[in-house]
Copies of this chain bind each other. A is one copy, B any other.
């Protein structure tokens, strides 16, 4: 065990390198032709190894996809967090739109990865629990903005009908006990709606319908923020 960390580390490092190379190549092929056409054999071929060797690193194609999914969530989450940090002094609404635009831009740059995480789930595949934290990052950024706004008194509480109150209280307790229940519920809705805008643009539903997409999105995202209580 004295020098065990280096010797054992050598093996582990080699393994980590090959694993990373596989993921890199897989990501490249994913970007090139989408998740549905991602082939283990093609990845192995590009790496100069035989397909069966790849199973030493990923027990199945779905496990490779899971790794790519986690990476995609992390990549997007990082981008959103960076955009938020960069506009820390732009006020709640400025931060919100900055994050929203960062999400949109990331999606446009990585359409296949976006489709992988926010598009149709793979039939037999169900995401393992390890994907949950990375998947929450964008939501947590938006939540942080609302929380800061609330702390500084810049958050107006949206109206909430009596029927929704119990659910809103449950949501607030779950994800932000310091926020008014109505704000928590409004945030979740705005969060989903934000990705509706991004997805529709990305998946071609805006074809010939929205032309100036940057302006349209910016305005829609800002209205979403106001709907969640920011201004």
Binding site for B on A (CB under 8 A): 33-37, 112, 115-116, 118-124, 127, 135, 158, 160-161, 163-164, 166-167, 170-171, 174-175, 185, 188-189, 191-197, 199-201, 203-206, 208-212, 215-216, 218-220, 223-224, 227
Residues of B within 8 A of A196 (CB): 192-197, 199-200
A123 to B195, CA, bound (A): 20
Question: Could you say which residues of chain B place their CB within 8 Å of the CB of A204?
Answer: 121, 127
With A33-B123, A35-B120, A120-B35 as known contacts, state yes or no: A167 contacts B212, CB within 8 Å.
yes
Tell me the nearest residue of chain B to A160, going by C-beta.
B219
Q: Which of A127, A192, A218, A220 has the most CB of B within 10 A?
A: A192
Q: Judging by beta carbons under 8 Å apart, are A209 and B164 in contact?
A: no
Prevailing SS type, chain A contact patch: helix
A135-B205, A193-B224 are known contacts; what are 9 more A-B pairs with Cβ within 8 Å? A161-B219, A163-B215, A164-B216, A167-B211, A189-B197, A192-B193, A192-B206, A192-B220, A223-B227
Chain B, Cβ-Cβ closest to A119? B120
Task: Note all chain B residues with C-beta closer than 8 A to A167.
Answer: 210-212, 215-216
Output the least CB separation between A64 and chain B (Å): 15
